Structure 1
Amino acid sequence: MAEPQTHNTAAAKTITPPPPVIPVGQSGDWDLLFSDEFDGTTLDTGKWTTCYWWDDDGCNIASNNELEWYQSDDVLVNNGTLQLRAQQRSIDASNGNTYDYTSGMVTTGRDVSSTSVPPKFAFAFGYTEIKAKIPKGQGLWPAFWLLPVDHNSKPEIDVMEILGNETDMIHFNFHYLNSEGVYENQNNDWVGPDFSDDWHTYAVDWQPDKIIWYVDGVEHFRYTETAYIPNGPMYLLANLAVGGDWPGDPNGSTPFPSYYEIDYMRVWQRSNEVYLLPIADTYTDSDSPSTNYGHDDSIQADHEPIKTTYLKFDTTALAGRRVASIQLQVKSILESGAGSPDTQYVKLVEDTTWQEDDITFDNAPAVSPTSIGSLSDTSSNSTYAIPLDTSQVKPKIGGVFSLAIEGTGTDGLYLYSKDNEFDKPYLIITLLSSTTVFLPIIIKP
């Protein structure tokens, strides 16, 4: 006789997946690009290094007259937090100086000086957030900030800086070079609670047309001068400086050791925004008709002589997606005269077979006569987002297509190419949200 069968009559348990992690105070769909929750017991060296790229068994920023020498043993991971520890201890540094303090820092940048080595992590445009508890004490200077991957000191986005003797005041800063190559700083200070008493989130939403600073999900500063907003990849830094021209020296009341505690650091991008680098870009020049400029770090548009920029984009990953808007973002080079009072036009190029290493004025593909976007009255060292005619470009989305930039006058425009280390052209595509639902129209008899 067959064995009796048993049946589990209990109802199946429904497992609800955890909600996606999104920035504090924000809504909508987000893609998490990077995160470290510091849940282990050691630092993840695949994500972080513990000094600036000029690391020599330690480092600091000498131009700030800081008093610490950053050391890896002052970077601790305990109980789900990253701890950057400042200590009062003497150290003979590799730069020949003796420092009375050591401290900790982390960065997703390089741990070598060569820019041919990729950083641990970098991103262009997005929302970065840190949850932290800062220390109190004269001379302490915790910060969370972004720097460009080309090892320049500008632009610099300071998500948060707090001085240990004013722990109820947060400083937001954006350092950059203007169109004349002159240093400028836009900043705002906000007095809130004593930030050393509890955990808080500090964030920056870096978009092509604005930078917004948040504390605990609430906006406190906004910068909207599009020309100077960075458009190249930047990396994360968090550090606890000791002393320097701004915070001043520690004194007898400063507690040591002191800890800058970090619960997490995260970076997102909006799910409906796509930033694409060209897979090829170059320009041609009628004065040198057989010359190829395939890997020049600039691209140019002029009419006398005729210089035409060509860009090729691969959008095959977006096949089937609904498009709301398309922009071409470019940046003029720093040198004086790189801008132009004339108008430059963006046009489609039907031929996508051209190769960056082969194209010249003599063999360049034909450019459509119809403009799909334009740019006028440009300056040096400035970023421009050119709205493109969506009706013309939308049929190209889902495949590989080419654009050209042509000049109309005698004063040419000089832009950075994708081969520049930091400032690059981008195609910015805004998609209709995946949650958008179009209801069918039902006609009743």
Structure 2
Amino acid sequence: MSRRSWVRVARASLIGVSAVLIAQAAAPPTDLAVQSVSSYQKQQALMFDDFNGPAWAPPNPQWWSYDTGGGGWGNGESQTYTSAPSNVRLDGAGHLVIEARNDGGEYTSARVTTQGRTSLLYGRAEARAKLPRGSGMHPAFWLLGTDLGVVGWPDSGEIDVVETIGGAGQLYSSVIGPRTSGGDWQAGPTTDVANTFVDDFHTYWVEKAPGRVTFGVDGQITGAVTAAGLPPDERWVFDKPFFLLLNVAVGGEWPGPPDSSTPFPAAMVVDWVRVTDD
């Protein structure tokens, strides 16, 4: 979820994706946004968490840990991430709630991660979620290379499955990698949606295959980035394991600060997360 300049290789709506793009990417999946996940699908998953448990309980430590603290997180963000139940908890109805709060001008939120617990090499990572709206809100479902602590960012690579800025009008998906000359490059689809799209549950997903990362929402492919399509200065670092992250950031260089119209508390509500291999 590190932001610099945005370079996009594809732009699509949920209704019209080009035939060329569909031909290059994997076949559209079953739309799990309107169907429950079957017992078979749960059994076949490397990870499946439907966040069942009592209200105010923490997410399952088998799968999730926390990134905590402030300092801007590389984007000039305003929130301090905590592991407090006021910021991250089960709701008792089968959901994970990640809640950004404004306590007298002090912003808190949460960022959960599967680092050290589970990761994806090739296959699919998906989350069914509702995303918050409001000026300065920056929710995300994303992945980082498991070698982050060794090689650093951007050499680790970053895959942003879905991000929104203020939650209105567009979904952003991207891969971010290193340049041979230093710095980073970014590419991926921007998807136009109705302002209220994020208010409902949708399944946001990414598929990783050798030399290819494909993005989608529900049963629709929104775009793909391939190693073969990169300029010589852009390194492909995505054929390795990646771990998952879910968070709600507040403010920062990209969305800008919240204002008096921003509703607090503002929550990302996650119905389930699933990781499957090839």
Structure having greater relative contact order (Cα 8 Å, sep ≥ 6): 2
Give me the identity figure in percent.
33
So what's the TM-score if we normalise by structure 2?
Answer: 0.75
Structure 1 residue 50: Cα displacement: 1.7
- Residue segments in structure 1 that go unaligned for 5+ positions in a row: 1-17, 23-29, 91-98, 110-118, 271-445
Question: Structure 2: how far apart are the matches of 1:81 and 1:182?
Answer: 38
2:262 to 224, 235, 254: 254
Structure 1 residue 102: Cα displacement: 0.2
Question: Structure 2: how far apart are the matches of 1:206 and 1:189?
Answer: 18
Aligned to 2:239: 231
Q: Which has the higher helix share?
A: 2
Aligned to 1:139: 136
Aligned to 1:46: 62
2:114 to 105, 108, 113: 108
Question: Structure 2: how far apart are the matches of 1:182 and 1:137?
Answer: 31
The alignment yields a C-alpha RMSD, in angstroms, of 1.9
Aligned to 2:275: 267
Letter in structure 2 aligned against 1:222: A
Letter in structure 2 aligned against 1:189: T
Aligned to 1:197: 199
Aligned to 1:150: 147
Q: CA offsets, 1:57-105, max 9 Å, x none? A: x345432010000111110101110000110015xxxxxxxx7200112
Give the 3-state SS of the residue equivalent to 1:38 in structure 2. coil
1:20 to 28, 32, 40: 40
Distance 1:46 1:100, change over 3 A: same
So what's the TM-score if we normalise by structure 1?
Answer: 0.48
Structure 1 residue 157: Cα displacement: 0.4
Aligned to 1:65: 76
Q: What pairs up with 1:181-330 in 2 under 5 angstroms?
A: 181-193=182-194, 194-226=196-228, 228-270=236-278
Greater CA radius of gyration, 1 or 2? 1
Aligned residues of 1:208 and 1:229 also touching (Cα < 8 A): no
Structure 1 residue 21: Cα displacement: 2.1
Letter in structure 2 aligned against 1:86: A
Aligned residues of 1:133 and 1:262 also touching (Cα < 8 A): yes
Aligned to 2:45: 32
Distance 1:123 1:197, change over 3 A: closer
Aligned residues of 1:142 and 1:260 also touching (Cα < 8 A): yes
Aligned to 2:3: none
- Residue segments in structure 2 that go unaligned for 5+ positions in a row: 1-37, 229-234
Structure 1 residue 128: Cα displacement: 0.4
Aligned to 2:90: 77
Give the 3-state SS of the residue equivalent to 1:158 in structure 2. strand
Structure 1 residue 210: Cα displacement: 0.9
Give the 3-state SS of the residue equivalent to 1:106 in structure 2. strand
Structure 1 residue 20: Cα displacement: 2.4
Aligned residues: 223
